[in-house]
Amino acid sequence: MRKNLFLIALFTSFFLLSGCADNESVKKKKADPDAIYFDYRVWGNEENSDITVRLQYFLENGNENTVLLQHPSKAEFDGAVLQADSSKMNGYYYEATIPLENFDGKHYIVYTDRNEKQYREEFEFPVISLKSEIPAVVSRKELVFELDGINPGEIIRVLLTDTAFYSRGIDRIDTIRNDSIIITPRDLENLKNGPVYLEIYKDDKWPLKETTKAGGRISLSYGLKRVFELKD
């Protein structure tokens, strides 16, 4: 009996010491300012008229825990220091919500590490809009959606869906030509008559220019929606 108790105590001590060693290694990882991965996301849509900016910092390559910045570390958007927030799903993050009408032009994000070294990223947000409104009722002929806020050759995602359960709809990536997206009568064969829901998204993503050795990325997304009735 005493021998069994001794063995249990020995194994318990081993696991406790292993756990302490793991915790110490995590603390060392957290203390390394060059092992922080940056994840910047900016998104919005025409419907709610707001743009959300979310900045997160991770250990290593974005697959580890989020980091709570400690002074003098900080995250800034357009010169304003963002305060930390957190949730069970997202961990720690730094977020700002800005009205769409105030979001024209260039923007910048600055991260300052514990050694007060700064990393800056500049970007322009892709706010797109329709040059003219879509009629309430549309016939099965060629549809041309003219867009503002986008350049020829840029990529955009287009979705058209109806209310029929068995309909395939349209979900494709398009290249902008002459500021327009063209939906042909043949494309419309995938849609049934009745209400049709149009969604257009502009998504951009690229590696950050200034980062730690761990790297970082920024993703931008903006969308608009319309509803019209399709008929023969």
Fold of 129-204+223-231: Immunoglobulin-like (2.60.40)
Nearest to 146 by CA among 128, 173, 169: 128
Structure tokens at 56: 């997160």
Q: What is the pLDDT of residue 15?
A: 39
Q: Are domains 32-124 and 129-204+223-231 of this chain identical in fold? A: yes
Scanning the chain, the segments in alpha helix (DSSP H) are 2-30, 185-188
CB 51: neighbour CB atoms within 10 A? 22
Rounded average pLDDT over 195-220: 95
Higher pLDDT, 61 or 148: 148
Q: Is the pLDDT of residue 43 over 90?
A: yes
- List the domain boundaries for the chain: 32-124, 129-204+223-231
What 3-state class would DSSP assign to 59? strand
Q: Is the pLDDT of residue 2 over 50?
A: no
Q: What is the pLDDT of residue 209?
A: 95
Stretch among 38-47, 54-63, 108-117, 139-148 having the lowest mean pLDDT: 54-63
Question: Tokens 């690229």 belong to which residue?
Answer: 206
Cβ within 8 Å of residue 92, ≥6 positions away? 56, 57, 66, 67, 68, 84, 85, 86
As a whole number of angstroms, the distance between CA 120 and CA 216 comes to 12
Q: Is the pLDDT of residue 17 over 50?
A: no
Structure tokens at 116: 């007060």
Q: Does domain 32-124 have CATH number 2.60.40?
A: yes
Confidence grade of residue 7 (pLDDT, cut at 50, 70, 90): very low
C-beta separation of 150 from 156 below 8 A: yes
